[in-house]
Amino acid sequence: MSDAVKHECAVALLRLRKPQEYYFSKYGSADYGFSKMALLLEKQHNRGQDGAGIASLNLAPEPGLPAYRVERSAASEDPLADLLGRCGGASGFDGGVLLGHLRYATYGRHEESACHPFVHDSNCLRRTLLLAGNFNLTGAHDLFDKFLKLGHHPKSKADGYLILQIIAHYLEQDSNLHPGSPDWAKILRQALNGLDGAFTLCGFNGAGDSFAIRDPHAIRPGYFYFDDEVFAAASERPAIQAAFDCATSEVMEIPPGKAVIARADGGVEILDCLEPAERRSCVFERIYFSRPNDADIHRERKRLGKSLVPAVLQAVDSDFDTTFFSYIPNSARVSYHGMLETLFTMAAHQDHLVRFGEIAIKDAKFRTFIADADSRRELYMHVYDVTYGLIRPGVDTLVVLDDSIVRGNTMRNAILPILDRLGPKRIVVASSAPPVKYPDCYGIDMACAGDLAAFQAAVAILKRTDRENVLNRACEAARKALAGGAPNENHMRDVYDAVDENELHEEIAHLLTPPGLKAELKVVYQTVEALHSCCPDYPGDWYFTGDYPTPGGIRTANRALVNFMENNQERAY
């Protein structure tokens, strides 16, 4: 993805199942747990670079001293490095339960107070709760109202605070009624059933019980692993594999709507908690967000590249001799490999040579240098270095594979101008994902319709063809739906239904074309059908189809349309 799009956070939970002396004796390390937590976070660093936090619990605390310690960082340079530097070797981070989090500041809040883990404190260890998660709620107001009805006075409307406090409320009730370990299935069911949104939550209480739970649609990813020594949960499977050197088959998905519990005595069990729902796991995880060193994701991304080949060849008139194939780093690399493998096979049968290489290379340090100078177009273009001498000016077509096109700003303002300097006759931008048409409300920061290149293109077509009445009718229907008329109908679809798909792609190419571009520009997209064929177990495709898994998603789409028509820049959820 060439655009900088904020997205899901990462969470990690670790429970040591042996006494501390065991790890020192076997591994010669007094901070075995902390080092493993550091690795779990480092291997998920791609998921959150605006904040980080770690909590550690002493399973046998001395009375008069804190049972746990929490440290957070929102340092401007590298919060995780800052956090690990402060915690490494520090007293209190050698506990038997550790909870870590990496945060993307979706709402732009970069202060330390917004970083997880969150804490509900109590003098009773069983009632003390620490929580971190990868989540976003579309109905935080409903949770706020529920909290009020329970007789509380919430001091914040933030969804993280509300989730923490609602679980803590039922934990305290259970602590009053049931001696021993809390009834986590009942507590989590009471607190989380009916939430509209997506979540993978990890937490522990002060007595040493820990849990990981996933939303019933399995929208957000979550994995766990346990052996005789540890129990671990994380947002990505390869992070667990790296930390504990285990096979892919040993790392299991957290089942939708279920909680995996590591009890204070070290026992591990899976509990039914939330009402079953249709599986709608986020397909963008497979296209872009998750690292491709997960074996399944690697295979899926290669299939995405392979399935684009027919459309790409059509765009270049099947002319291998005057076409050069490349990609836009770095998340598109694996899909690019899948595309190349298919091209090599086809070319071999036709006695052609496939010309390929790295044309654009992102200069990360230069990008940091100009972060506050976006208006300086000449500098912004040079975020990418290009390889000169591979393209024959005026002769060659340059194909660049990107994983997805969301806003198109970086493509238009930085990538295409610098590629045009190479003198290609034609540039074909191939997206391994379909057009992103609809806003997201489950963790990805794209909540405004007007930010999406596909929506801008649809609006431009309707205006150019004197069909603005389509927009007006769709907006009025969306207003009625938001007022309670037809809450389950997504009226942003009405806009796209009025536009031919091929015409939409052509208009997107027109919008992406920067002033003065000499090369002809074409845009090629993956189809939704091919996407599902490549990623069959991840049907969460609402960004492309408008088919949201929860009513809150449909409200988000309708609100985004109304906001656009009213020139309202507020978020749609």
152-198: per-residue pLDDT in tens? 887 887 888 899 999 999 999 987 777 778 999 999 999 999 889 99
Q: Residue 364: its pLDDT value, please?
A: 57
Could you tell me the two tokens for 342? 């298919």
Average pLDDT, the chain: 90
Q: Residue 3: its pLDDT value, please?
A: 55
What CA–CA distance (Å, rounded) separates 314 from 193?
Answer: 49
What digits encode the pLDDT tens for the residues 375-426?
455 555 667 788 999 999 999 999 999 999 999 998 999 899 999 999 999 9
Q: Band the pLDDT of 105: cuts 50, 70, 90.
A: low
Which residue in 547, 573, 444, 531 sits closest to 493, CA to CA? 547
Backbone angles phi, psi at 311, to 5 degrees: -70, -40
CATH, range 294-452+501-546? 3.40.50.2020
- Once rounded to an integer, what is the mean pLDDT over residues 414-442? 95
The answer, yes or no, to whether residue 96 has pLDDT greater than 80, is yes
What digits encode the pLDDT tens for the residues 187-205?
999 999 988 999 999 999 9
135 vs 491 pLDDT, higher one: 491
Widest distance between CA atoms in the chain: 79
Q: Residue 87: its pLDDT value, please?
A: 92
Q: Residue 370: its pLDDT value, please?
A: 42
The answer, yes or no, to whether residue 570 has pLDDT greater than 90, is no
CATH, range 10-136+198-268? 3.60.20.10
Q: How many CB atoms lie within 10 A of CB 177?
A: 10
Q: Residue 91: its pLDDT value, please?
A: 84
The answer, yes or no, to whether residue 369 has pLDDT greater than 50, is no
Domain regions of the chain by residue span: 10-136+198-268, 294-452+501-546
What CA–CA distance (Å, rounded) separates 559 from 164?
Answer: 27
CB of 336 within 8 A of CB of 305?
Answer: yes
pLDDT above 70 coverage of the chain, percent: 92
- In DSSP notation, 38-77 reads HHHHHTTGGG--SEEEEEEE-SSPPTTS-SEEEEEE--SS
Could you tell me the two tokens for 255? 């089942």
Q: Band the pLDDT of 4: cuts 50, 70, 90.
A: low
